[in-house]
Structure formats: C-alpha cells, structure tokens
C-alpha cells in the first residue's frame, strides 16, 4: 500500500470507527445520536515538483441515519465524495497566478479493497503548477454550501548528491572496506528525509522469460531523518554523509526477497535516492504514530482551514524525490547474484 493510501485509510478508519460506536448506541431510543450534519472535508495532497502530474484526494466525512448502518454507507460512493467542487492551486505570493484542477474518476489509481467502496476513486489533478518556488495555496470551494476550504504548503525543491563527481561506477563486493558513500545536500523547505539505495530489477518467468515485471527494492540508510536538527552545516548548506559496507546491502537481499524457483531476476539499474518531506508531514507522521499507554495523541491532525480555523481532516503539503543513477561493474552483478535469491547476471 502506498503512503497515500495508508494515511488516508487511517483517517477514514478513525471516522468510520467513531460513527460505528455511535451506531451501537442507537439502542437507547431516548438519545438522538444524529446531530445536524456538519460538512467536513477530508483532504490528502502532496505536491512534488519533480512529478509530471499532480493529484489531490478530497472526500467528505459522512453521518448515517438510524435506518442505515455505517457499514452500508461506506459502500456508497456518493456518501464519500462531494457532488461538485471547484479546486484551485494559487501561487501564495501572487494570487492572480493559479490553475484549476480537473476532476478525475478513472481507474488509473484504484483503491485497495477494504471497508470503503472501491467503485470510484475521485481525485483532482493538474499537469501544471502556478509556481515551483515559494508556497502554494490550495482553495476548495463547494458551491452547494458556499464554503471555501484553504491550506498552504511550502514547496520543497532542490537538494543534490555530491558523492562521486563524474565517476559513478560502483564496485560491490564482500570486503568491509568497500562502502556505500552516500553524501546528500538537503533542499529548500525540507524538514525530514528518507534516504536509501534503490535496486531496480526485472523479474521473469523461468518458463517464458518474455513475461516479466519491473520491480524495485529499497535499502534504507535513514528514515524520517530530521534535516533541520541533524544535518551538519557545510558551506551554508546542509549535508547528510553516511558510509555503510556494501556487504550489509548484500546480506539484506535474502532477507527482503523470497526465493521463488519459478522466477529469475536480473538487475537493471541502481540509484542513490531520497524523499524529502515538509514540517507539516513530519508533524502528521509524529501525531499518527501508534503509542502504548492510556493517553493517545490527537490523530486528527490537519492544516485544512476555513477563515483560519481548522475545520477539515487531512493535509496539503509537499515533498520531493531525488535520485542519482549509478553504474554497476560486472563483479557487482556477480555478488548480487550470489546473495540475492534467483538473481542472474
């Protein structure tokens, strides 16, 4: 499950559980469990300026009646989505510069099966952004209610790898002295990073190698690394510098991949990669972590507002994905095949 679906599912599960508990209380006919309907948008938008197309997911919280169970309502798409919305992205510093997003109800990004209806996955999309620097302002207008919801996100941009110069040939072997040399300079407005080596490979059927699937495997050097606090300063920029023996990567392969003798695998590429996240996203992850104890964090973190007050659920933020391709020499492929289940070279 993608991070997009995982976090949205968590939000929707919170709402579903809350309504389900209220439904159980309906056996007491002296209590009216249905308060007047309160329009609550559920938003998940993560803008990455390196992407060619951008998507924002907008749903609504629902409230069931006494005659319809919440379990039934979750299977009705109209209960999950607004009928009509006008969604725009503005340059926060130049409001005359904006784009209007198109509604998309297609099946390119189907929902995972589960509690909520998978018949439709409504998204709002655009191929262009009003700006790729500074900040973006999201505006969601509902013509039926007259309400406008807003959120602002600082754009994460820049960042680079400075490990190799022009020489990007990697020699992977079992020697502890042969190390992953990972040096990364953080980008503007980035607060946290996941940093990893990504192995690209093709998985083919033994019986017919023309049948194949392109796959990736990530070997993490750091997760949720707080850039502002942990990156040492160097020449007015901030850098992450880590060395790990390649033998640790080789030992990771049989732990991460299951042996399947009906398949063969062949390496196609390897990159040094990084995902940068904003301060908003770091706060969201921290507040939604499972905790052990009687006192739980507020899991309904949101930066979706009406007139400056939090009114929705969800987040509008930015991230960026950066990578640097590396070249594997033949001996590297030999050692990957030695440790990696079903790999050939």
Nearest Cα neighbor of 108 from 123, 89, 93 is: 123
Span 76-84, average pLDDT: 72
Nearest Cα neighbor of 71 from 33, 111, 112, 24 is: 24
Which band of pLDDT confidence, cut at 50, 70 and 90, is reported for residue 2? very low
Q: Which region among 37-51, 102-116, 318-332 has the lowest average model confidence (pLDDT)?
A: 102-116
What is the model's pLDDT at position 328?
86
**SS3 state of residue 253:** helix
Specify the higher pLDDT residue, 81 or 16: 81
Residue 151 contacts residue 305 (beta carbons within 8 Å):
yes
Q: Which region among 20-29, 163-172, 188-197 has the lowest average model confidence (pLDDT)?
A: 20-29
pLDDT at 82 over 80: yes
What is the model's pLDDT at position 292?
55
What is the model's pLDDT at position 313?
82
pLDDT 10s digits, 99-148: 999 998 865 665 555 544 455 678 999 999 999 989 999 999 999 989 99
- Kindly state the tokens that stand for 25: 């209380």
pLDDT at 232 over 50: no
pLDDT at 184 over 80: yes
Span 230-249, average pLDDT: 70
Which band of pLDDT confidence, cut at 50, 70 and 90, is reported for residue 94? very high
- Kindly state the tokens that stand for 37: 């309907």
Percent of the chain at pLDDT above 70? 70
**SS3 state of residue 268:** strand
- Please state the φ and ψ torsions of residue 333, each to the nearest 5 degrees: -65, -35
**Any idea where the domains of the chain sit in the sequence?**
3-155, 160-277+323-344
Nearest Cα neighbor of 15 from 76, 63, 57, 58 is: 63
Strands 94-100 and 179-185 come out as unpaired
pLDDT at 25 over 50: no
What is the model's pLDDT at position 20?
42
Which band of pLDDT confidence, cut at 50, 70 and 90, is reported for residue 9? low
Average pLDDT score, the chain? 79
Nearest Cα neighbor of 74 from 56, 89, 59 is: 59
Span 35-55, average pLDDT: 85
Rounded distance, CA 323 to CA 134, Å? 22
Nearest Cα neighbor of 311 from 88, 22, 60 is: 60
pLDDT 10s digits, 150-160: 999 999 988 88
What beta strand segments (E) does 106-167 contain? 123-126, 135-142, 147-154, 160-161
What is the model's pLDDT at position 235?
38
What is the model's pLDDT at position 26?
43
pLDDT 10s digits, 192-228: 889 999 999 999 999 998 999 999 999 999 988 887 6
Other CB atoms within a 10 A radius of the CB of residue 194 amount to: 19
Rounded distance, CA 14 to CA 115, Å? 12
pLDDT 10s digits, 275-303: 998 888 777 776 666 655 555 555 566 88
Specify the higher pLDDT residue, 332 or 118: 332
What is the model's pLDDT at position 316?
92
Q: Which region among 23-32, 64-73, 248-257 has the lowest average model confidence (pLDDT)?
A: 23-32
- Kindly state the tokens that stand for 134: 């500074």
Percent of the chain at pLDDT above 90? 43
């Amino acid at each position: 499950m993608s991070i997009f679906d995982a976090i949205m599912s968590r939000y929707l599960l919170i709402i579903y559980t809350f309504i389900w508990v209220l439904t159980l209380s309906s056996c007491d006919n002296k209590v009216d469990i249905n308060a007047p309907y309160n329009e609550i948008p559920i938003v998940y938008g993560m803008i990455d300026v390196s992407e060619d197309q951008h998507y924002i997911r907008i749903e609504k919280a629902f409230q069931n009646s006494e005659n319809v169970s919440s379990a039934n309502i979750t299977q009705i798409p109209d209960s999950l989505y607004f009928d009509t919305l006008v969604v725009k992205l503005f340059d926060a510093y130049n409001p005359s510069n904006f784009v209007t997003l198109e509604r998309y109800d297609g099946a390119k990004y189907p929902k995972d099966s589960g509690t909520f209806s998978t018949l439709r996955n409504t998204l709002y999309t655009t191929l262009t952004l009003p700006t790729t620097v500074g900040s973006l302002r999201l505006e969601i207008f509902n013509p039926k209610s007259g309400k406008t919801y807003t959120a602002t996100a600082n754009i994460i941009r820049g960042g680079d790898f400075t490990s190799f110069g022009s020489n990007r040939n990697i020699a992977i072997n079992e020697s502890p002295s042969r190390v992953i040399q990972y040096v990364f300079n953080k980008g503007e407005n980035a607060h946290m990073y996941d940093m990893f080596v990504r192995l690209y490979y093709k998985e083919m059927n033994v019986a017919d190698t023309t049948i194949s699937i392109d796959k990736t495997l990530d070997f993490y050097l750091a997760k949720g690394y707080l850039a502002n606090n942990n990156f040492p300063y160097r020449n007015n920029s901030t850098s992450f510098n880590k060395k790990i023996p390649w033998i640790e990567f080789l030992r990771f392969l049989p732990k991460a991949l299951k042996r399947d003798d009906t398949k063969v695998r062949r390496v196609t590429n390897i990159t040094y990669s990084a995902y940068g996240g904003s301060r908003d996203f770091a706060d969201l992850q921290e507040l939604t972590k499972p905790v052990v104890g009687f006192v739980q964090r507020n899991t309904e973190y949101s930066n979706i507002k009406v007139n400056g007050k939090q009114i929705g659920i969800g987040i509008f933020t930015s991230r960026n994905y950066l990578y640097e391709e590396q070249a594997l020499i033949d001996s590297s492929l030999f050692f990957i095949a030695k440790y990696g289940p079903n790999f050939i070279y």
